[in-house]
Amino acid sequence: MMQKIAKDHPDQDITLRWSPGHEGVHGNEEADKQAKMAASGKQHNSCRSALPTFLRHGSLPLSISALKQAHHKDTHARWSRMWAESPRYTRLHQLDPLILKRSFIKLTTKFSKRLTGLLLSLRTRHVPLNLHLHRLGKSDSPRCPYCPTIDETVHHFLFDCSQYQRERHILACALGRQATSLPYLLAEAEATPHLTRYVNATRRFKPTFGEILMPALEPD
């Protein structure tokens, strides 16, 4: 900016000084005083004749960016109210209070319907594993088909079942300690491709979801 001013006014000497604040600098203090007066009410506003021509009639020009931001905020607020009044809200909120938070919606925006459906099923535990199927009367037993004394839960399927040790080892090599964190696997974008690979490799959900297309890994 200094260069531009110097170029526009080559015959003027320009000195730039740093001011520590309004205190002790009369011009700054006066500008601050006038700004506060203008913000305090209409009685302190400039008369229309003192305003630039384009501001004398009507209101200030609208900011497209501000309008979009306000519209987005209003839309999200109305959607949140409508969802909170939905008969399904209480039940789904009990299953997973974070499932419709912005972070999860953002995570699944670019996912296929199959992959989004899989993540929803795993997060709500409404997934075609024997514990849930038994509750629905679709399985004779809640037990894991490979571990006869243990219920087949989401946690068991992902972390404990002896049938999937090789697949779990590959998952652990890719994600390290995070491979044993259920919240991480079901909510973090960098985990989703590896989780998808694990699910496809086990073939446990293939009758329901088929082969699930893996999302692209984000570049480092």
pLDDT in tens, 92-142: 555 555 555 666 777 788 888 999 899 989 988 899 999 999 999 999 999
Question: For residue 70, what pLDDT is reported?
Answer: 84
- Write b or e for each residue in 86-112: b if 16 or more Cβ atoms lie within 10 A of its Cβ, otherwise e: eeeeeebeeebeebeeeebeebbeebe
For the segment 193-213, the average pLDDT, to the nearest whole number, is 94
Question: For residue 11, what pLDDT is reported?
Answer: 81
Question: For residue 220, what pLDDT is reported?
Answer: 46
Better-predicted residue by pLDDT, 201 or 33: 201
Contacts of residue 12, Cβ cutoff 8 Å, sequence gap at least 6: 6
Name the amino acid, one letter, at 94: Q
Residue 214: pLDDT band with limits 50, 70, 90 = confident
Handedness of CA 121, 182, 195, 162 (dihedral sign): negative
pLDDT in tens, 54-81: 666 666 666 788 888 888 888 878 867 8
Question: For residue 178, what pLDDT is reported?
Answer: 94
Better-predicted residue by pLDDT, 194 or 189: 194
pLDDT at residue 13 tops 50: yes
